[in-house]
């Protein structure tokens, strides 16, 4: 279950930004820049003074500035002190931010129990992010005892407020039903709410639900529509899946989705894009690029890439021939159950020096063992 990782919020008053814009549109004189710095420094000093006198909003903003390094050197520990000051005054946003620091160990000693305590205080104050993070901690037993009914309570509260990450987490909890009664229909309904709110991961999962008929009727059209929305929102998995689907009939339309997913590191997209690149379908034909993509997909464990990468290495296509490395990948493919690759490996063993054969076999054994 993915958890929403949200950094401490940063508030920047427009009066502090205005001089910066003025400087950009003027003559950029040293005198103007010095004046801007004086105004900025004076504003920061006033904020520190207000924070020291107990102004919770100033404490919150000062904490955010120390965390993000706005006008001061980044200092998560000092940020934690100011978040604590504001949190002790009952500011839910500060309580959430402090809980997040304790959960991640950023600026303080990592302490999941204290994180849960501060999340609980913020949750009581209505902070949906705190309700979500605390719900996830209960659902996963992360730092605190697993308690699915408690998780359901907190996630439901945040989900009803329209918090997309909570809706997604709630859908996952209801879908798997561990510790509570599973309800695929309700899970799909919450998934659709999160997807309609623009959450790409929810759109991707909803596409899968419509494809498999989990909690909703099987509907290929709805599945494709949600998959496209997730891909257009930049979801690598959706882009890869959509690209692979389109590549069967429209390589030109598939290529941009596969390129985006491949650049994001999705192995399946790299393999599919390598196939297009090898034959020049939707992208320029390029043996060297195809070889690189096949190699990266092979390294990531895409079985179909193993014999294809081996063949390019053996033939010297897209780069220098490397029969020892080709033998290695034929052997890996054979160990993965590819009988044709086993035949190719037996053939190539006769065409490489004994030392190369021994090295390739040892590396194949090590590579396979590391994947178990």
Q: Which residues contact 221 (CB under 8 A, 6 or more apart)?
A: none
Query: Which residue's entry shows tokens 């103007």?
Result: 32
Gyration radius (Cα) of the chain, Å = 27
Domain ranges within the chain, ordered by starting residue: 1-101, 303-372
Rounded distance, CA 206 to CA 231, Å?
13
pLDDT digits (tens, 9 = 90+) for 124-166: 999 999 999 999 999 999 888 999 999 999 999 999 999 999 9
Q: Where does residue 73 rank: exposed (0-12), middle (13-18), buried (19+ CB within 10 A)?
A: exposed
Average pLDDT, the chain: 89
pLDDT digits (tens, 9 = 90+) for 270-322: 999 999 999 998 999 999 999 999 999 999 999 999 999 999 999 999 999 99
Nearest of 89, 186, 99 to residue 137 by alpha carbon: 99
Look at residue 34 and tell me whether its pLDDT is greater than 60: no
Sign of the four-CA dihedral 160, 163, 165, 168 = positive
CB 241 within 8 A of CB 248: no
| Residue 72 banded pLDDT, cuts 50, 70, 90 | confident
Look at residue 36 and tell me whether its pLDDT is greater than 70: no
Report pLDDT for 43: 74
End-to-end distance of the chain based on CA atoms, in angstroms? 24
DSSP 7: P
| Residue 264 banded pLDDT, cuts 50, 70, 90 | very high
Cα angle, residue 238 at apex, residues 297 and 170 outer, rounded to 5° = 120
Report pLDDT for 35: 53
Sign of the four-CA dihedral 20, 22, 23, 25 = positive
pLDDT digits (tens, 9 = 90+) for 183-231: 999 999 999 999 999 999 999 999 999 999 999 999 999 999 999 999 9
pLDDT digits (tens, 9 = 90+) for 314-341: 999 999 999 999 999 999 999 999 999 9
The proportion of the chain whose per-residue pLDDT surpasses 70, expressed as a percent, equals: 89
CB 86 within 8 A of CB 94: yes
Distance of CA 48 to the CA centre of its chain: 36
């Amino acid at each position: 279950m993915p958890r929403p990782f949200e950094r401490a919020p940063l508030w920047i008053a427009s009066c502090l930004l205005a001089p910066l814009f003025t400087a950009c549109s003027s003559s950029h004189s040293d005198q103007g820049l010095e004046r801007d710095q004086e105004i900025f420094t004076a504003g920061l000093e006033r904020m520190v003074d207000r924070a020291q006198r107990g102004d919770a909003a100033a404490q919150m903003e000062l904490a955010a500035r120390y965390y993000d390094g706005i006008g001061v050197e980044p200092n998560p520990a000092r940020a934690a002190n100011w978040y604590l000051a504001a949190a002790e005054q009952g500011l839910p946003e500060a309580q959430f931010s402090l809980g997040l620091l304790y959960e991640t160990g950023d600026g303080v000693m990592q302490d999941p129990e204290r994180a849960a305590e501060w999340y609980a205080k913020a949750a009581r104050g209505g902070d949906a992010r705190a309700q979500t993070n605390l719900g996830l901690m209960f659902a996963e037993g992360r730092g605190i005892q697993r308690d699915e009914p408690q998780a359901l309570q907190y996630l439901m509260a945040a989900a009803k407020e329209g918090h997309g990450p909570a809706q997604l987490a709630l859908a996952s909890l209801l879908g798997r039903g561990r510790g509570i009664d599973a309800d695929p229909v309700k899970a799909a309904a919450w998934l659709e709410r999160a997807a309609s709110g623009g959450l790409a991961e929810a759109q991707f999962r909803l596409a899968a639900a419509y494809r498999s008929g989990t909690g909703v009727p099987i509907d290929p059209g709805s599945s494709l529509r949600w998959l496209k929305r997730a891909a257009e929102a930049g979801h690598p998995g959706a882009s890869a899946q959509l690209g692979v689907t389109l590549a069967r009939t429209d390589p030109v339309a598939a290529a941009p989705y596969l390129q985006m997913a491949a650049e994001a590191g999705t192995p399946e997209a790299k393999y599919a894009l390598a196939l297009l690149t090898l034959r020049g379908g939707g992208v320029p034909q390029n043996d060297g690029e195809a070889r690189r993509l096949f190699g990266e997909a092979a390294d990531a464990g895409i079985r179909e890439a193993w014999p294809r990468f081996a063949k390019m290495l053996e033939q010297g296509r897209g780069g220098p021939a490397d029969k020892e490395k080709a033998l290695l990948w034929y052997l890996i493919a054979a160990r993965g159950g590819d009988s044709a690759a086993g035949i190719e490996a037996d053939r190539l063993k006769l065409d490489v020096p004994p030392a190369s054969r021994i090295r390739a076999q040892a590396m194949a054994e090590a590579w396979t063992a590391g994947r178990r």
